[in-house]
A and B are shown apart, each in its own frame.
Chain A
């Protein structure tokens, strides 16, 4: 059974139609690459998967349960299970790195502070970020902020991770670091959707792709399946020179 399934998803902002019938699914342990031009509505889909945005119609099934009608309270268990790695990290800038990572643990567990501290140290060590533990986000580079944002997103050990352009605007070093982290999480069996314009990273981590174009999913499938299609967008994508 699919772990994530989006069925006939439709969304407009005012007069502006963004999605006109988007459907796709992701099986457990898979990583789906969600690809499309800028402004195609990729972030809106990811945001909808944790209820930050509501579709006008359609279903979003997580583990077979439609979350579209859920209110904020009902969404809490979903949000513990589905992590969102925001484009800019979205760290709380009034808190240190430690406090940022402690935030979800304090909110959702009864762990004593010593256990929380231990978890945070382990997580930061795994991500190679121990040195910045007492710094504020404002003192860190964009790449570091994104990596810490990712560390915060996964500290609750979610089943699903949504990556919103995790490598956009990063230098090759940080891009490589993020790519490694995504692969490591995937090896642990975490299911993921990756929105990106970074084709090497997408090719390295995604099992299959969905192309968002003209308000619908124009094509989807594995790279081998897609190679046989003669859509120019897809061919260019496979050759690695668009988006």
Chain B
């Protein structure tokens, strides 16, 4: 006979961690909002983080955006060639990049690079009692650690995505003119004529959500490291996986949301 299955225990175990995560992040978010409204505000820490998150991620973002744009132009071009659809490539590439590929790929790259960095840095600070020291010296880890990182992501990600949008379309143009024999000037004009502000806003609007999806789990998993160095690695993995999943699943709902908003406008 097989072991009796303890269903309630199984369910509790299965859902305990996600629920803890949701509750924990909600509390962290509440404290963050609360402490954002009180003095002091550490501007120099924010600038440090903007540099670390933004400037340091730029090469990665540029390469990702360029290759995405190039590959898309190639695939659309070769795929549509049979139907004589090549002239639509600029429009297709542009709107796909603006709406989806720019924001999502940039955010995923940032989740990997910045999310891992934040979670492991904060986790190590917990293990070496630096977070305790922040509190023991009468200052707030939320103000010193969480707020600069969340704000940096909120400021930097939209900018990076805007740059990625430009570079991605440039990659499309390069492939369009070299591989698909589309005139570069024609390609450029088509992009400008066909893509509109709505495309841009639909993608750009998501980046603020994605920034939160990256920063909050990374801070949360870093701060909740408990017993020693081994957990820092686990926290890092959890931060990256959680941020990536939130971006990918959140993207669907946000896309729907922005379609609804567009219809309104």
- Name A residues whose Cβ lies closer than 8 Å to a Cβ of B: 47, 50-52, 72, 75-77, 79-80, 83-84, 86-88, 90-93, 103-104, 107-108, 152
Residue B265 CB within 8 A of the other chain: no
Q: In the complex, A32 Cα to B116 Cα: how many Å?
A: 43
A88-B128, A90-B130, A93-B128 known; A52+B136 contact, CB < 8 A: yes
Chain B nearest Cβ from A69, distance in angstroms: 17
Surface stretch bound by A, among B137-145, B146-154, B204-212: B137-145
Chain A nearest Cβ from B39, distance in angstroms: 12
Q: How large is the interface on B (under 10, 10 to 19, 20 to 34, 35 or more residues)?
A: 10 to 19
Q: In the complex, A154 Cα to B197 Cα: how many Å?
A: 58
Chain A nearest Cβ from B140, distance in angstroms: 7
Which chain A residues lie closer than 8 Å to B132 at the CB level? 47, 52, 84, 86, 90
Q: In the complex, A88 Cα to B127 Cα: how many Å?
A: 11
- Name B residues whose Cβ lies closer than 8 Å to a Cβ of A: 128-130, 132-133, 135-140
10 A-B pairs whose Cβ atoms sit less than 8 Å apart in the complex: A52-B132, A52-B136, A79-B137, A86-B129, A87-B129, A90-B128, A90-B133, A93-B128, A103-B139, A107-B138
In the complex, the answer to whether A92 meets B136 with C-beta atoms within 8 Å is no
B129 touches which of A77, A79, A88, A103 (Cβ 8 Å)? A88
Query: A107: nearest residue on chain B (CB-CB)?
Result: B139
Query: B142: nearest residue on chain A (CB-CB)?
Result: A72
A88-B128, A93-B128 known; A79+B133 contact, CB < 8 A: no
In the complex, the answer to whether A104 meets B129 with C-beta atoms within 8 Å is no
In the complex, the answer to whether A92 meets B140 with C-beta atoms within 8 Å is no
Which chain A residues lie closer than 8 Å to B135 at the CB level? 51-52, 72, 79
A52-B132, A92-B130 given; name 15 further pairs at CB < 8 Å: A50-B136, A52-B136, A72-B140, A76-B138, A79-B138, A80-B138, A83-B136, A84-B132, A86-B132, A87-B129, A88-B128, A90-B133, A91-B130, A104-B137, A104-B138
